[in-house]
Each structure stands twice: as structure tokens, then as C-alpha cells.
């Protein structure tokens, strides 16, 4: 007889493993099935985020930033470094170690919460019977289990550019971009989005000459224009060669190089030679091999699993969360949906507020934002007030030696409610949390302006930007 579970989660990325843990906390019998393999063929739960996404990219961003600081910034602090050398092998090994700690941590959390883990690929094996949906698992685990409720959290894969298949040696997706074994002298990046900028920054800091080719005529179109402009200026000064408005033509692989023919914004035909090429032009939902047609699971017009606001699919008792459904492809969005679905299955009122999901780009300086941009407010016809404060005028940023960027507040012109906060600068990823909390509580800019912030801290720039809404900055 097949093993029966109240809830089976397919995929152990941030959406899936968190949903499994929350469902187990709520008293359900829970299994989680995940196909990811480590280099020894063992399980590696954590999905894209842990294995080839958030975690390894942040490990390399940190290491490469240390390397760059040791080469330049330390001198200003009175620290002379001699014999500085890059040990890329050790850097990649450390990154792999950080990934493994996270894989092991998730296996431990499954045990702690009594979630049964199956290492393999799950697919619907037919319509729901009295015991629920039969799910066939293939791989190291090989059995059929049944689930009264199914949560699909199968994530996404890098989008392929037609005619330029990923071989992870010369033409790299995020997977190859995180594991280049020697610093490429010339690195090409197609797509100036989040991955292109983060991975481009890593390899530039380690010594590559990085050229980024972006299709759109604007830089970081989803980011507040003022912040995006500042980012473009700073990244260009660092040495990233950012080319907007490029039409990519033929990509040809040689023995040890790749050539990219493209038309630049002026309409000139250019052919560029690179030692490696990263293609980061977005991601596509992962619905392959799920047996969706076995059960009539509906997809939307873009190939995502179709869900309503509560993450319910068209099938009773089948839910979907994370990158495989509409909305931002972010780990914390996937987690929030996973928790909310587990709580809904338990009859509770799970909640995900899409208006207060923070975004962070982990470049240097970091870029972080929550809520609407100035251009969105204009397009929506909302009357707003704006206030900015530069890190140049913040004592802690000066002490750090990291004064680039600003904090920007946007508030409703009548009610003063915070509508958006945009930061480019040191530790923007941490600073943005205050704005998220404030927006969740529907705070006004004045609320933040009246809160005591520790001195000297970067967060004082947040308070000052709130003060700037009414032109009352104290330190600028």
C-alpha cells in the first residue's frame, strides 16, 4: 500500500521547504519531494536559491568584495596589503561549503519538524482517488505516494536565448556563472538585470573585463529612475561596460571563446569576442515532467501554473507557490506564499502582501526598494511628495568609507502615507526592512521622521530622507 500524507510538497526550494515545515507545524502529516542532486548524487534540498542562486551568489559577492577592498579600499584605512593574490579555487570551495551548510540545514529542519523527505522527481500519476492524488516518485526514491493536498513549488530555470544553448563551459546560465574555474579575461553578459549585474560585479572585481549587453533602451526599468541613473553612473565608474538598446544577433562558439554579433543603440553592427558569455535574460517556470496533463492542471498564457490570489490552482486540493506562479521571482515571495498556503489548508487566513515585497540587488552599492517608484506614481496620477538624503552626509557612511548613494522617500501628498522607499547605498538590503515594516503598518513619512534612530548608523539616512519630505533635513 502506498504511503499516505495529508500534504505533499513538490520541490524543496524556499517556497516548498518552508511550506512543508509550516504544514508540519500545523499538525499535518507532510512529505516533501525534491529532485536536486549534489555532485555525489545525494540530495541537495534548497532549490535554485540554495544551490545556484541566492546563497552561492551572495557568498561570491562577499568574497569578491573582500578581494576588491583588500586591493583598493584598505589603503585609505591605513592598511597596506602586500602580496595580494586571488585563490579562486578556495573562493569557489568556500562558496560550495556555504551551499552545503544550507542543504544540510534543510535536511535537519525536515527531521526536526517530522517532514518525510523523498529524494526524487514527483509527477501526478492520475486523478484523485479516496486517498487523494497519487504521485509517482522516480529517482533515488522510487515509489508512489498519495496526498490529500498537493503544493507545487517546482521553481524556474534560466531562459534560453534561441541559437545559444547553455553548455555551462562557454555559454553560461546562472549555474555556470557561479562556477567559472579561472577568471575570464573578457566576460560578456547578455541582460542587465539582477543576475547580470550581480554576476558581472563578481567577475569584474576578480579581474574580468565585463561587457553587458542589454536589449532595452533604459537601465533597470523596474527601479526608480533616479536610483537607476545613479546606479548606472556608479557601475560604469567601477568599470562595467553597460550597453543599452542592443539587438543580439548570431552567437558563435569557437574552441575557447564566443563571439556575439549585435547591433548597438546607434544601429552600428558590432561583433564582440568573449572568453565566457553569461546569458541572464529572465527565467521560465518549471512545469516539465510534473504530469500536469495527467490531471488537467491549467497553465496560464505564459506557461506559469495558473493560480488565484490564494495560490489555488484549477484542481481541488492542489496549490502552487513561488517562481512557478505569477509574481516576482524572489525567494522571500516564495516563502510567504508557502506559509500562507499551509495556513489556508489548515483553515486559517494566510496572507501575502504583494505591495510590500522588498527587492534587493546585491551589487556594490546595493540597491533596495519597496512600494511604488516615482515613475509609477506619475503614471498612476498619484499626488506625492519626495525626499532624498545622500549617504555622503551620513557620519557612519563616512566612517565606513562608503558614501555613495542615497535614501529616497515617496509619500502621499495629502495623507503623508509612505508609498515607496528606494535606497542605493551601503547595506541597503538591511535598511529596507524598516521601510517594509513602516509600509505594512501604513506609517506616514512623519512617523519615521519622529522615531529615534541610533547614532552613528546608516539608518539615520532613512530618518533624514523622511524628514526631507518636508524639507527639514538636519544634516544636509
Q: Which residue has the cell 542587465?
A: 192
Which of 72, 77, 351, 455 is catalytic? The answer is 455
In the bound complex, what is the minimum distance in angstroms from residue 288's beta carbon to ligand NAI?
Answer: 18
Q: Which is nearer to ligand NAI, 211 or 394 (CB)?
A: 211
Q: By CB under 6 A, how many residues form the interface with ligand FAD? A: 38
| Minimal distance, residue 123 CB to ligand NAI, in Å | 25
For ligand FAD, give the closer residue by CB, 115 or 334.
334
- 48 binds ligand FAD per the rule CB under 6 A: yes
- Which of the residues 381 through 420 are near ligand FAD (CB under 6 A)? none
Bridge partners for 138 per DSSP: 121
**Residue-wise DSSP of 401-463:** T----EEEEEEETTT-BEEEEEEEETTHHHHHHHHHHHHHTT-BHHHHHTS---SS-THHHHH
Q: Quick one: which of 466, 109, 83, 404 has its CA closest to 230?
A: 404
Least separation in angstroms between residue 220's CB and ligand FAD is 16
Among 5, 6, 8, 13, binds ligand FAD (CB under 6 A): 13
With CB under 6 A as the contact rule, the residue among 8, 9, 12, 367 that binds ligand FAD is 12
Query: Distance between CA atoms of 11 and 20, rounded to whole angstroms?
Result: 10
Residues in 302-331 at the binding interface with ligand NAI, rule: CB under 6 A: 328-330
Q: Residue 384 is placed in which grid cell?
A: 506625492
Q: Of residues 94, 312, 332, 385, which one binds ligand FAD by CB under 6 A?
A: 332
Selected range binding ligand FAD among 28-36, 97-105, 241-249, 364-372, rule: CB under 6 A: 28-36
Interface residue with ligand NAI among 79, 81, 127, 216 (CB under 6 A) is 216
DSSP β-ladder status, 156-158 and 359-361: unpaired
Give residue for cell 509609477: 376
DSSP of 73-124: IHHHTT----S----HHHHHHHHHHHHHHHHHHHHHHHHHTTEEEEESEEEE
Nearer to ligand NAI, 246 or 439 (CB): 246
Those residues whose C-beta lies under 8 Å from the C-beta of residue 48, and which sit 6 or more positions away, are 13, 155, 156, 174, 323
Going by their DSSP bridges, the two strands 133-138 and 143-152 should be labelled as antiparallel
- What does 36 bind: ligand FAD, ligand NAI, none (CB cut-off 5 to 8 Å by kind)? ligand FAD
Tell me how far apart the alpha carbons of residues 10 and 3 are, in angstroms, rounded to a whole number: 15
Residue 36 burial class via C-beta count within 10 angstroms: exposed 0-12, middle 13-18, buried 19 and up: buried
Q: Is 192 one of the binding residues for ligand NAI (CB under 6 A)?
A: yes
Residues 189-208 that bind ligand FAD (CB under 6 A): 195
Q: Of these partners, ligand NAI, ligand FAD, none, which one is at the site of residue 10 (CB under 5 to 8 Å by kind)?
A: ligand FAD
With CB under 6 A as the contact rule, the residue among 121, 204, 205, 276 that binds ligand FAD is 121
Left if phi > 0, otherwise alpha if psi is -120 to 50, otherwise beta: which for 177? Answer: alpha
Minimum CB distance to ligand FAD smaller for 89 or for 282 = 282
Read out DSSP for 290-303?
A: S-HHHHT--B-TTS
Q: How far is the CB of 311 from ligand NAI (least distance, A)?
A: 18
Lay out the site mask for ligand NAI across 358-397 (x = CB under 6 A, - = otherwise): --xxx-----------------------------------
Cβ-based nearer residue to ligand NAI, 432 or 468: 432
| 349 in catalytic set | no
Give the up-direction half-sphere exposure of residue 183: CA atoms within 13 A in the CB hemisphere.
Answer: 19
**Contacts for 430 with CB less than 8 Å, ≥ 6 apart:** none
Which part of the chain contacts ligand FAD (CB under 6 A), choosing from 76-84, 270-278, 309-317, 318-326? 318-326
Q: Report if residue 203 touches ligand NAI, rule: CB under 6 A.
A: no
Omega cis (within 30) before 365: yes
Q: Does 214 bind ligand NAI (CB under 6 A)?
A: yes
Nearer to ligand FAD (CB atom), residue 13 or residue 425? 13
CA separation for the pair 405, 194 (Å, rounded): 18
Q: Is 474 in the site for ligand NAI (CB under 6 A)?
A: no
- CB 14 to ligand FAD: min, Å: 5
Instruction: Please report whether residue 341 would count as binding ligand FAD according to CB under 6 A.
Output: no
- Residue-wise over 214-245: b if at least 16 C-beta within 10 A, else e? beeebbbeebbbbbbebbbebbeeeebbbebe
Helices (H) and strands (E) in the chain, counts: 15, 22
Using rule CB under 6 A, residue 423 touches ligand NAI: no
Q: Which residues sit at the interface with ligand NAI, rule CB under 6 A?
A: 161, 190-196, 198, 213-216, 246, 248, 280-283, 328-330, 360-362
The residues carrying an active-site annotation are 455
Binding site for ligand FAD (CB under 6 A): 10-16, 33-36, 47-49, 53-54, 57, 121-123, 153-156, 174, 195, 286, 289-290, 322-324, 329-332, 334, 362
Amino acid at each position: 500500500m502506498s504511503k499516505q500524507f495529508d500534504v505533499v510538497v513538490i520541490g524543496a526550494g524556499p517556497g516548498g521547504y518552508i511550506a512543508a515545515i509550516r504544514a508540519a507545524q500545523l499538525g499535518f502529516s507532510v512529505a516533501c519531494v525534491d529532485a536536486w542532486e549534489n555532485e555525489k548524487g545525494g540530495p541537495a534540498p534548497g532549490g535554485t536559491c540554495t544551490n545556484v542562486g541566492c546563497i552561492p551568489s551572495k557568498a561570491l559577492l562577499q568574497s569578491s568584495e573582500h578581494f576588491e577592498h583588500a586591493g583598493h579600499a584598505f589603503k585609505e584605512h591605513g592598511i597596506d596589503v602586500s602580496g595580494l593574490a586571488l585563490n579562486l579555487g578556495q573562493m569557489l570551495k568556500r562558496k560550495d561549503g556555504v551551499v552545503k551548510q544550507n542543504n544540510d540545514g534543510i535536511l535537519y529542519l525536515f527531521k526536526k519538524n517530522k517532514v518525510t523527505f523523498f529524494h526524487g522527481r514527483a509527477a501526478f500519476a492520475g486523478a484523485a482517488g479516496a486517498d487523494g492524488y497519487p504521485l509517482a516518485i522516480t529517482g533515488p526514491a522510487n515509489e508512489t505516494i498519495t496526498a490529500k493536498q498537493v503544493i507545487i513549488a517546482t521553481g524556474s530555470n534560466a531562459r534560453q536565448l534561441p541559437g545559444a544553448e547553455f553548455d555551462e563551459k562557454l555559454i553560461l546560465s546562472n549555474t555556470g556563472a557561479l562556477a567559472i574555474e579561472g577568471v575570464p579575461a573578457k566576460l560578456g553578459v547578455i541582460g542587465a538585470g539582477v543576475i547580470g549585474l550581480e554576476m558581472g560585479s563578481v567577475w569584474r572585481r576578480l579581474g574580468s573585463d565585463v561587457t553587458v549587453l542589454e536589449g532595452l533602451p533604459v537601465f533597470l526599468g523596474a527601479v526608480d529612475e533616479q536610483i537607476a541613473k545613479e546606479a548606472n553612473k556608479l557601475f560604469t565608474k567601477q568599470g562595467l561596460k553597460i550597453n543599452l538598446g542592443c539587438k543580439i544577433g548570431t552567437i558563435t562558439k569557437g574552441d575557447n571563446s564566443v563571439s556575439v554579433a549585435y547591433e548597438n543603440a546607434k544601429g552600428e553592427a558590432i561583433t564582440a569576442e568573449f572568453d565566457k558569455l553569461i546569458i541572464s535574460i529572465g527565467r521560465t517556470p518549471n512545469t516539465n515532467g510534473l504530469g500536469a496533463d495527467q490531471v488537467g492542471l491549467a497553465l496560464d498564457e505564459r506557461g506559469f501554473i495558473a493560480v488565484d490570489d490564494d495560490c489555488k490552482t484549477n484542481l481541488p486540493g492542489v496549490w502552487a507557490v513561488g517562481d512557478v506562479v505569477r509574481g516576482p521571482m524572489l525567494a522571500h515571495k516564495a516563502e510567504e506564499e508557502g506559509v500562507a498556503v499551509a495556513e489556508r489548508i489548515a483553515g486559517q487566513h494566510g496572507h501575502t502582501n504583494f505591495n510590500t515585497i522588498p527587492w534587493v540587488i546585491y551589487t556594490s552599492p546595493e540597491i533596495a526598494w519597496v512600494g511604488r517608484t516615482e515613475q509609477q506614481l506619475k503614471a498612476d496620477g498619484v499626488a506625492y511628495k519626495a525626499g532624498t538624503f545622500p549617504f555622503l552626509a551620513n557620519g557612519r557612511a563616512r566612517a565606513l568609507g562608503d558614501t555613495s548613494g542615497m535614501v529616497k522617500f515617496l509619500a502621499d501628498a495629502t495623507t503623508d502615507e509612505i508609498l515607496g522607499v528606494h535606497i542605493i547605498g551601503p547595506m541597503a538590503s538591511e535598511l529596507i526592512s524598516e521601510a517594509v515594516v513602516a509600509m505594512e503598518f501604513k506609517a506616514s513619512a512623519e512617523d519615521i521622521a519622529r522615531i529615534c534612530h541610533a547614532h552613528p548608523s546608516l539608518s539615520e539616512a532613512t530618518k533624514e530622507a523622511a524628514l526631507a519630505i518636508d524639507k527639514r533635513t538636519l544634516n544636509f
